[in-house]
Amino acid sequence: MQLGVQYNQMDKQLAVYQHPVLTVLLDDSKNFLDSITFQFDPLLSCKNFTNPLETISFLRLAYQHAASQYNEPIRVGYDEQTDSLEQRLASINLDPIYRTVTNKQRFEIPAVLVVDYSMSQMSGMKFCEAIRELPCKKILLTGQADEGIAVEAFNRKLIDRFISKGDPKAIELLETGIVELQREFFLTKTNTLKDLLSRHTYTFLTDPAVSVLVSELSARYKFVEYYLFPNPDGILFFDVDGNATLMVLATQQNLITHFEVAQDQGAPLDLLAALQEFRLLPFFFDTGGMYLRDIGNDWLQYCLPPQICRGQQDYYWALFELPSHLLQGPVYSFAKHLYDQGLD
């Protein structure tokens, strides 16, 4: 199974960002846990526990630590010219989102919990009740006799899925369920930020066609994480080794703006014609995003022919190699994380 961003036919939504995270498994049988994780995809990072109380302590400590690292970069300010509450302004700094790739801790967030229902110290139901305030998604492993209890737990929103240990496809269902719930974890986590951003500039965040495109590119190029990129608008991908690829996304209006600025800057006629006819997509990373007179005839190195994603509107897109200096720090790759954890 490819553990890049997965395309779910039932849920064509795009989180503001997504990266590999930790899956925590709890069962009082160490042999059972070792057997499960041995069969998982090597890129699925897992941590096993046999003691419920130790697991609770680990989860709570992990989220306390993560709270200081992953707060959404939203600050609410006020228009100094008015006292009206309706005139509140949301000031959003997006750069910290993609610069998360320099943070070693991002892969250690416990996003999904897999817990066995029948444990000697504490039932899986009681365990899920004890941590119900935590944002991790939960899968309950059951025996056939426990399925009624699992349905009740699901209806009470104590768990997000349940899987029977006796199902011949239990491992496959579990691995697929983990990947899908990781995706839901980030959708839930970034929902407020996404709602603010998609009302204006970043409309592609709510376009199902762009979500499908992100999933297809992730599978094709084996990208394992992505982040919203603010200038130019797009999605920044990383593969397991930390190599960065930027998908620039532009509407026709964006390209018209590029044309108008380039025209004012006395750009070469070939560039102006290509922009006017939507035949080139620019990424002027050395000049803050737009063509400047100093670029002169070197403009071609900043441009690629676009492809079109036809969604709620047409998006012109192309994949660019991202200059490393834009990240303002070294990338801590998922491969390095697995190596440091002894999981490679």
Mean pLDDT throughout 318-327? Answer: 92
Backbone angles phi, psi at 148, to 5 degrees: -65, -40
pLDDT score recorded for residue 4: 39
Give all strands (DSSP E) within 12-152, no chain letters. Answer: 17-18, 22-26, 46-49, 74-77, 89-92, 110-116, 137-142
Q: Is residue 3 pLDDT above 50, yes or no?
A: no
Residue 184 forms part of a structural domain: yes
Residue 87 forms part of a structural domain: no
Q: Give the model's confidence band at 209: pLDDT under 50 very low, under 70 low, under 90 confident, else very high.
A: very high
Q: Give the model's confidence band at 84: pLDDT under 50 very low, under 70 low, under 90 confident, else very high.
A: low
Backbone angles phi, psi at 97, to 5 degrees: -65, -55
Whether residues 200 and 184 share a domain: the answer is no
Whether residues 338 and 292 share a domain: the answer is yes
Q: How far is it, in rounded angstroms, from Cα 303 to Cα 293?
A: 16
Whether residues 263 and 293 share a domain: the answer is yes
Give all strands (DSSP E) within 10-109, no chain letters. Answer: 17-18, 22-26, 46-49, 74-77, 89-92
Query: For residues 68 and 127, which has the higher predicted lDDT (pLDDT)?
Result: 127
Whether residues 30 and 142 share a domain: the answer is yes
Whether residues 344 and 238 share a domain: the answer is yes
Residue 230 forms part of a structural domain: yes
pLDDT score recorded for residue 1: 34
Average pLDDT of every residue of the chain: 88
Whether residues 155 and 299 share a domain: the answer is no
Q: How far is it, in rounded angstroms, from Cα 300 to Cα 307?
A: 17
Q: Of 189, 221, 250, which residue is a domain's last?
A: 189
Q: How many domains does the chain contain in total?
A: 2
Q: Give the model's confidence band at 91: pLDDT under 50 very low, under 70 low, under 90 confident, else very high.
A: low
DSSP state of 7: P
Q: Give the model's confidence band at 148: pLDDT under 50 very low, under 70 low, under 90 confident, else very high.
A: confident
pLDDT score recorded for residue 344: 63
Q: Is residue 76 pLDDT above 50, yes or no?
A: no
Mean pLDDT throughout 52-60? Answer: 96
Q: Of 189, 211, 227, which residue is a domain's last?
A: 189
Q: Give the model's confidence band at 200: pLDDT under 50 very low, under 70 low, under 90 confident, else very high.
A: confident
Q: How far is it, in rounded angstroms, from Cα 197 to Cα 122?
A: 43
Whether residues 197 and 184 share a domain: the answer is no
pLDDT score recorded for residue 233: 95
pLDDT score recorded for residue 308: 97
Whether residues 124 and 143 share a domain: the answer is yes
- Residue-wise pLDDT for 238-296, tens only, equals 999 999 999 999 999 999 999 999 999 999 999 999 999 999 999 999 998 999 999 99
- Residue-wise pLDDT for 173-190, tens only, equals 999 999 999 999 999 999
pLDDT score recorded for residue 266: 95
Q: How far is it, in rounded angstroms, from Cα 143 to Cα 62?
A: 30
Residue 290 forms part of a structural domain: yes
Residue 306 forms part of a structural domain: yes
Q: Give the model's confidence band at 343: pLDDT under 50 very low, under 70 low, under 90 confident, else very high.
A: low
pLDDT score recorded for residue 110: 96
Q: Of 189, 215, 238, which residue is a domain's last?
A: 189
pLDDT score recorded for residue 7: 44
pLDDT score recorded for residue 293: 94
Q: Give the model's confidence band at 12: pLDDT under 50 very low, under 70 low, under 90 confident, else very high.
A: confident
pLDDT score recorded for residue 211: 96
Whether residues 199 and 230 share a domain: the answer is yes
Share of the chain above pLDDT 70, in %: 88
Q: pTM (2 decimals)?
A: 0.89
Whether residues 242 and 336 share a domain: the answer is yes
**Range of the structural domain that residue 319 is part of:** 1-13+192-344
Q: Is residue 222 pLDDT above 70, yes or no?
A: yes
Whether residues 36 and 167 share a domain: the answer is yes
157: domain CATH number? 3.40.50.2300
Residue 232 forms part of a structural domain: yes
Q: Is residue 20 pLDDT above 90, yes or no?
A: yes
Whether residues 314 and 196 share a domain: the answer is yes
pLDDT score recorded for residue 199: 84
Q: Is residue 78 pLDDT above 70, yes or no?
A: no
Residue 54 forms part of a structural domain: yes
DSSP for 321-335 reads EPPGGGGSS----HH
Residue 88 forms part of a structural domain: no
